[in-house]
Chains A and B, each alone.
Chain A
């Protein structure tokens, strides 16, 4: 597994190659927070980290989830409804 990842670093092939069926998810969990069912405390090697980050950039270069998908719009003023004004006043 490690050789595979290190090869990916040199070859410029993305992390997505990790998805070969039995790719070890604990590698990702060790780096990315471990919120899976079996989080591993193992630290990643520098090579593993670089390969994941490089591939991550590739994955997200063209399509980003969680970004504003609209342009700025000029807004002159927005009147607060009495209900919302009361909510603002509620904390003092």
Chain B
């Protein structure tokens, strides 16, 4: 049976948004599978072909081996017997080769594969993806503030960032992220979640991931205890920690020793109050060495992180203080 494309008008999107606003702050997609399938399908569809499209980074032509330009990608929300999904195709490319381990498992086989097992379209049904993730011990969830800032707002294809990222920083969403990991939960709204977190998900990773999430959550709770709204000055190190937790929750990075090392350094920096959670000076410049710290964490060479990351983190702290005005 063919898929039926669905056009979602701005008015219909507003209705969806209103209903979404009434959902709990964090809620399993399985609690209302059809509604959240539509939300997720819409989130993915909106990103495809834009600078926010993380799937396109990994999409190659199956015949030529060439990278498919994201401008060639087209996506539509589809309906199949009352189940909502998203179909992605590439103009001028009849054979798609997604180079992400585990992504093929999430494809709807009946509507993605043609003759000779070639992939002509990428069709995902979030309801099915949610259940596949559950087989691997993960609960896919909606986090309302993030959905509002991504699927339903703050989305501008011309921008190189999501406005939601600003909220992650200002609201110290690293705390929320650690809580999600501790509970073996993954948010599922867009191409990043699909490609980087759900594809290739493996149950054997959860004991370590959830333990690290719980430990970090507890560190954050102690650090921010009694602090209502941390200033950006005090949010930089937690943000870096949250970002590396996100990295480690990507199946391709489960075993990254260099990331784990830098996570431990950041936890130690918070526990020893290298930056006090109640300190509130002006921060006049983002510490440049953060970039080097993240690069060290993302290095394939754990020895490099062990050698240099401690010194770089000390520089980050020094830069924070140097670029702060009382």
Interface: A14 (CB within 8 A): yes
Query: Chain A residues near B167 (CB, 8 Å)?
Result: 28, 32-33, 35
The number of residues on chain B lying at the interface, defined by a beta carbon within 8 Å of a beta carbon of chain A, is 75
Interface pair A88/B153, CB less than 8 Å apart = no
Q: Are A19 and B282 also in contact (CB < 8 A) when A32-B166, A92-B1 are?
A: yes
Nearest chain B CB to A8's CB is how many angstroms away? 10
Question: In the bound complex, what is the Cα–Cα distance between A16 and B290 (angstroms)?
Answer: 15
Interface pair B284/A31, CB less than 8 Å apart = no
Nearest chain A CB to B44's CB is how many angstroms away? 14
Which of A25, A73, A83, A88 has the most C-beta atoms of chain B within 10 angstroms of its own C-beta? A88
The contact of A56 among B128, B166, B233, by CB within 8 Å, is B166
Question: In the bound complex, what is the Cα–Cα distance between A22 and B240 (angstroms)?
Answer: 24
The contact of A88 among B109, B164, B170, B288, by CB within 8 Å, is B109
Query: Chain B residues near A17 (CB, 8 Å)?
Result: 282-284
Interface pair A62/B280, CB less than 8 Å apart = no
Interface pair B161/A32, CB less than 8 Å apart = no
Interface: A78 (CB within 8 A): yes
Interface: B49 (CB within 8 A): no
Question: In the bound complex, what is the Cα–Cα distance between A23 and B286 (angstroms)?
Answer: 17
Query: Chain A residues near B319 (CB, 8 Å)?
Result: none
Interface: A2 (CB within 8 A): no
The contact of B239 among A65, A69, A84, A88, by CB within 8 Å, is A65
Interface pair B163/A33, CB less than 8 Å apart = yes
Which B-chain residue is minimally distant from A70 (CB atoms)? Answer: B252
Interface: B30 (CB within 8 A): no
Interface pair B242/A65, CB less than 8 Å apart = yes
Question: In the bound complex, what is the Cα–Cα distance between A56 and B302 (angstroms)?
Answer: 31
Interface pair A80/B169, CB less than 8 Å apart = no
Q: Are A28 and B170 also in contact (CB < 8 A) when A17-B283, A35-B144, A66-B165 are?
A: yes
Interface pair A84/B132, CB less than 8 Å apart = yes
Q: Are A73 and B104 also in contact (CB < 8 A) when A28-B170, A32-B167 are?
A: no
Query: Chain A residues near B101 (CB, 8 Å)?
Result: 73, 75, 78
Interface pair A19/B57, CB less than 8 Å apart = no
The contact of A52 among B108, B166, B291, by CB within 8 Å, is B166
The contact of A78 among B104, B286, B294, by CB within 8 Å, is B104
Interface: B137 (CB within 8 A): no
Question: In the bound complex, what is the Cα–Cα distance between A87 and B252 (angstroms)?
Answer: 24
Interface: B139 (CB within 8 A): no
Interface: B267 (CB within 8 A): no
Query: Chain B residues near A91 (CB, 8 Å)?
Result: 80-81, 83, 108, 125, 127-128
What would be 5 A-B contacts, judged by CB atoms less than 8 Å apart?
Answer: A16-B232, A17-B283, A19-B235, A19-B280, A35-B148
Given contacts A52-B166, A84-B105, 17 further A-B contacts (CB under 8 A): A15-B232, A19-B231, A19-B282, A33-B145, A33-B153, A33-B167, A35-B167, A58-B286, A59-B169, A62-B288, A62-B290, A62-B294, A66-B165, A75-B99, A75-B103, A83-B135, A92-B110
